[in-house]
Amino acid sequence: MNDLDRLVLYANNKKIFDNLTDAFPYPYTSEDGIKFIENNSSENPIKILAVIFNDEPVGSIGVFPDVDVHRKNAQIGYWIAEPFWGRGIGTEAILKMVDYCFKTFDIERIYALAYGRNKASQRALEKAGFKIEAKLEKTIYKNNEYLDEIIYARRR
């Protein structure tokens, strides 16, 4: 809860919302932040972590293990606060999360779904060793427009 003010400050950004699923609220309120922290801080093992830069929370990264026949896979999702874009923080967070995932979960593949227009996220994934597995045209409907989806993955 000590990071609530920073979380709300950075998460309440339309540019962040535009590159995440609609489950990520916008505007992002203190109530949203409290709910997020309370819902995720007691999981064991932890699945969602703060991204810290110079002792300051500047984003979030999470792992979402799949179930049933996809149980050897996990999706990662992340966001970095706009003032910290272009510094390699996303790539470093992805690398650390990949290491954590392979040590913590019984998975063989980690994947991420990048929007076709989000070139910065694509670069971060590629720098972290992820490869494109598929490009799906106009499968995402966000803000009243259709977007391409690029599936990236990295294997154990």
Total count of domains within the chain: 1
d(CA 139, CA 148): 6
Residue 120 near residue 90, CB atoms below 8 Å: yes
pTM value is 0.95
Name the 3-class secondary structure at 32.
helix
CB atoms within 10 A of CB 61: 20
CATH number for the domain that contains residue 106: 3.40.630.30
Check whether 1 has a pLDDT greater than 90: no
d(CA 66, CA 109): 10
Of the candidates 127, 104, 68, the one whose C-alpha atom is nearest the C-alpha of residue 112 is 127
pLDDT tens per residue, range 37-76: 999 988 999 999 999 999 999 999 999 999 999 999 999 9
What is the bridge-based pairing of β-strands 109-115 and 145-155?
A: antiparallel
Query: For the chain, what percentages of helix, strand and coil (3-state, to nearest 5) are there?
Result: 35, 35, 30
pLDDT of 4 reads 94
Structural domain of residue 114, as residue ranges? 4-155
Mean of the per-residue pLDDT values for the chain?
Answer: 97
Alpha carbon 11 to its chain's center? 12
Residue type, position 119, single letter: K
